[in-house]
A = this chain, B = another copy of it.
Amino acid sequence: MATAWRELVRDKRARQVESIPKEWLIDCPAEAVLDVTKIPKQCGLFTAKELEITGTTDAALLLSKLASGEWSSVEVTTAFYKRAIVAHQLVNCLTEIFVERALARAAELDAHLKSTGKVVGPLHGLPISLKDQLPLKGLETTMGYVSWIGKFAERNAVVVDILYDLGAVPFVRTNVPQTLMWAETYNNVFGRTLNPHNRSLTSGGSSGGEGALVGMRGSPLGIGSDIGGSIRIPSVFNGLYGLRPSYGRVPYAHAVNSMEGQDSILSVLGPLSSSLSGVKIFMKSIAENRPWLRDPLARRKKWDDEEYALVEHGGGKNLCFGIIWNDGQVVPHPPVIRALEMTKAALIAAGHKGAADDYRAVTSSTGEPIINSMEIVDEENGVVKNTFLPPMPASAYHLWQFQKERRDLRQEYLEYWNSTVEQTGTGRPVDAIIAPCAPYTAVPHGKNNNAAYTAVWNALDYPACVFPVTRVDPVLDAPRPRHDFIDDTDKAIHELYKPETFVNAPVGLQLVGRCQEEEAVIAMTEVVDAALKEAKAKIAKL
């Protein structure tokens, strides 16, 4: 029995290899080749059109070409499938591979468009990748557990049913860490997923298969889950956009999960994408499908165009952001600080001047209170500080005490947020917060052990959208000597930083809004993203 699991793994892996079309195998580069993002272009497997399709990072553009029939779904699905398989050979990001099924679906969609002249839905023809928590009827769902090998799903997750309604083509499932409760991606069934920008670094987790796959442009849009950062960490480590929505905006029903029944801090589903348009279209389409009629925990909140138009945020003019430079526990690495500086400068340049003066006030005058007021600590009851996980106290009574504390914390933070109206000069409290997603970029395998920058927003249930900013640059991001440290963790993380270790690692940030304000968070991330692009274009011109 002790070795039986190895047999199961061997069989499962053999079946995975068989599921890969032989003609999509490539000669893989040596392990020492770290950045593999250019391999698809170089390997000779792809036609020019396939490279054009998979190089189209804007999901909205892909969808418009699919809707007009300029590109068929079979073409688009084939192109991304090939690229996903190539990505898998390079960074080990996939779990379930089902090419025939996906292409048959794509062909059906093409036939429908041809015969009716109409799309099936707003995601017509788009291949979408799914974290290994989202069952498709008839396919195995292992979620990285050997004991789940051979468990074939009797029904789709509700979000998968909705994706079919919307016209999408679910086409691969992606790797996760064992138990899901770890911000890297490694399990005994499928092994470890690597970061395509630098394979010596982690892809992050727990939606690390998604992060690596979308980072390789092997999928235009993927669905991950986030209970402490599991969408945002892989998004930022792989240079992507990714949204952690508030509870109940994306239906979770019939997804598999760990720690079921744990309700204190809920895992949520959300998108990772190479474009912000992918994030928006996903959220809008899901809401318009009325998921609350299929999942009792989904919120009855329609997509709100007024909120997306930032009506509650001055129409998006003269926005005021709070910036979290550090959380008072761990000072971020130099590239992350540079990303904050770049973003701040870009926002000022884009005319958010009020913002510039004010968010400085908000952060400096209060001595970094934003995170300081947010510690979820209950020493008495043995609850761990800054835990990535919700704590698991021994008794129901202690759990109630924790939940009461969490509720009070949410109330306190909401009142704190409201109180910033005194400092912004806009007549509104801060419109959003811009913060690191982690104190570092993607780190070497096994070193990602700090999720405080993301987990705090799960505890508060605030939506947070990741956006890419830059890449690690050994010159611009030289180590900044420090002599005082907050504690040993801060010191250890500081010492981890050596520019040569992090070569080419993407650097991003998260924009955090108020609870259930996904529409506004997406719109404000668009504002920030546009400002950053404008600023980069100006620099490029110099």
Q: Which residues of A contact B (CB under 8 A)?
A: 253-254, 259-264, 292-297, 299-302, 304, 392-405, 407, 410-411, 413-414, 418, 460-461, 514-517
Contacts and interface: CB of A to CB of B under 8 A. Distances in A.
A517 B298 CA distance: 13
Contact of A263 (B263, B393, B461): B263
Given A261-B401, A292-B516, A392-B396, 5 more contacts: A260-B400, A292-B515, A296-B410, A296-B413, A393-B396
A404 B403 CA distance: 17
Given A294-B414, A394-B395, A400 B300 contact: no
Contacts of A294: 414, 418
A296 B399 contact: no
A418 B291 CA distance: 13
A262 B414 contact: no
A299 B300 CA distance: 9
Given A264-B263, A403-B263, A404-B261, A296 B411 contact: yes
Given A396-B399, A399-B396, A414 B295 contact: yes
Is the contact region of chain A dominated by helix, strand, or loop, or is it mixed? loop
10 contacts: A254-B411, A261-B401, A262-B403, A263-B263, A294-B418, A296-B410, A296-B411, A299-B301, A392-B396, A399-B399
Contacts of A407: 261, 296-297
Nearest to A263: B403
A261 B399 CA distance: 8
A214 B413 CA distance: 37
A256 to B, nearest CB: 12
A505 to B, nearest CB: 35
A304 B295 CA distance: 20
Contact of A301 (B301, B404, B410): B301
Nearest to A158: B411
A206 to B, nearest CB: 20
Nearest to A392: B396
A270 to B, nearest CB: 17
Contacts of A410: 296-297
Contacts of A460: 296
Given A263-B263, A395-B395, A396-B393, A300 B300 contact: no
A304 B301 CA distance: 10
Contacts of A299: 299, 301, 516
A538 to B, nearest CB: 37
B404 A260 contact: yes
Contacts of A260: 400, 404
A279 to B, nearest CB: 19
A259 B396 CA distance: 12
B414 A296 contact: yes
Given A264-B263, A296-B460, A301-B299, A253 B398 contact: no
Nearest to A302: B304
A408 B269 CA distance: 18
Nearest to A246: B300
Contacts of A262: 400, 403
A371 B296 CA distance: 17
A398 B400 contact: no
Contacts of A304: 302
Nearest to A254: B411
Contacts of A418: 293-294
A155 to B, nearest CB: 11
A461 B403 CA distance: 19
Contacts of A403: 261-263
A394 B292 CA distance: 33
Contacts of A295: 411, 414
Pick the 5 closest A-B CB pairs, nearest first.
A261-B400, A261-B404, A296-B410, A300-B516, A261-B403
A67 to B, nearest CB: 27
